[in-house]
Amino acid sequence: MGFKLASKFIVFATTYLLLILVTIDPVKANQRSELPTIGTAGAGTMSIDRERLLGDFYIRQIRAQAPLAEDPVLREYLSDLGNRLVLHADNVRFPFHFFWVRDSSINAFAFLGGHVGIHTGLIENAEDESELASVVAHEIAHVTQRHIARNMERMNEAAPVSFAQIIGGIVLAMANPQLGMAVMTGSIAGIQQRQINYTRQFEIEADRFGMATLARAGFDPHGAPRFFGRLASRYRYSTQVPQYLVTHPLPESRIADTRERAQQLGQPNLEPSLQFELAKARVKVRYTNTSARNALSQARTNEERASHSNTKAAARYAQALALYELERLAEADKILMALHEEDRLNLFYIDTITDTWIKQGRYEEIVEFLTQAYIRRPNNQVLTLNLAFAANEAQQYDLSVKILNEFIMRNRDDRVAYQLLQEAHQGAGDAVSMHEAQAEIFALTGNFELAIEELNNAHSKVAEDRTLSRQRIRGRIEQMRKLERDRERVMRM
């Protein structure tokens, strides 16, 4: 079930915000050659609670403005990969949230509160899972070592920068890049012309902690110097470099340091990761400008050249995806069912079987197929969202509402779940619940005014004798108003 947001907004502005917050005076950075004590720096400027609050505000803006890849099976893969790394990281203070930005550029960024964004272009250009994991581990280290908070301490004596000014520039940049960037540039004019990049000190620290995390999690630490070295070589003489190299410069000395550290950490003998290969195939077929015909041709070539069963399976999966896009559904289904027989629990195959059967109008069959899988793994996000999607198509709205309500109790920030729930309530003719679900969608994108309006609409439609329902909706309105006040407080920080 490939959810794709239609709007294609500019992502660079969001990265620009992060760079402003982590920028420091390079002269002062050179005066402090020793790394500060881990876990203490940054505490004077920003508490963990404030960091969470800022992170929550930021991610709502990201949902509203950035072209996220709302794809359950890709989200599941990235979340599993990221949390495997977090499990072996130091100084973790809160749960992490990993998300894909649908953008072909090579980039990744982290922000306050444990939010890590990965561009789809990054996995396109990674040759194996350890290379992708090395970048994710690096971004996790930026968060766990509180580089943004530590840098804000150093900015105390500089001209103050309003979070509201920066966010305002970002919003403008989404619609008018030149105007938005001008606003943001004006907002930081008083910061002594600080360079807009991570400092060498923070990069070295993130490399050190990230590579240690990478090795402890069972990945190949040589993935970092391989990926960094290849990027540096590819763009050494280029006038247009990927944003990742702008924010994370790769001098030869840094690449040499990562090579030396990787040698110390060892090199495990790893076979190609099937999940990585499937995720990469999915991104290439569904989230790039490659035509389905070209993707099909390339996938067939890749299958012929594959030397490992996992890369061969991924090439076959890519063929099925391309055939689906070409509406050659019987051919796609034949490949998918053969793959499913080999690996019955694989969520990539189940997800694409769902798409294929629904497009063939096989609604009852896919609901039964997914129900059996859901019984074995209840509340798995891929199975739950696919089953709800299929149930909505089959007009089995009661089933959709039941499993989505259970899922949302554990996943209150899942916008796709609320979208499916809103569709189920609309199909069932439940106007009150439809407005409530729509309110949650607005809230997840920071639009609390419209969220409250939807809740008021829901309240007005509740029968007078349904006292508990009316009280519950009024209570949620008050919670939304509090979130709105919190946002205003954040904007004044």
Catalytic site residues? 139, 207
How many CB atoms neighbour CB 188 within 10 A?
A: 21
Residue 87 main-chain phi, psi, to 5 deg: -55, -25
How far apart CA 217 and CA 90 sit, in angstroms, is: 12
How far apart CA 349 and CA 389 sit, in angstroms, is: 16
Give the pair of three-digit tokens for residue 34.
Answer: 């020793």
The single-letter code of the amino acid at 369 is F
> Known binder of ligand: residue 248?
no
> Known binder of ligand: residue 131?
no
> Known binder of ligand: residue 203?
yes
How far apart CA 394 and CA 383 sit, in angstroms, is: 16
Q: Buried b vs exposed e over 62-84: b needs ≥16 C-beta within 10 Å?
A: bbebbbbbbbbbbbbbbeebbeb
How far apart CA 281 and CA 252 sit, in angstroms, is: 32
Our CA angle for 292, 344, 287, nearest 5°, is: 25
Q: Give the bridge partners for 100, in sequence order.
A: 118
Annotated binding-site ranges for Zn(2+): 138, 142, 203
Annotated binding-site ranges: 138, 142, 203
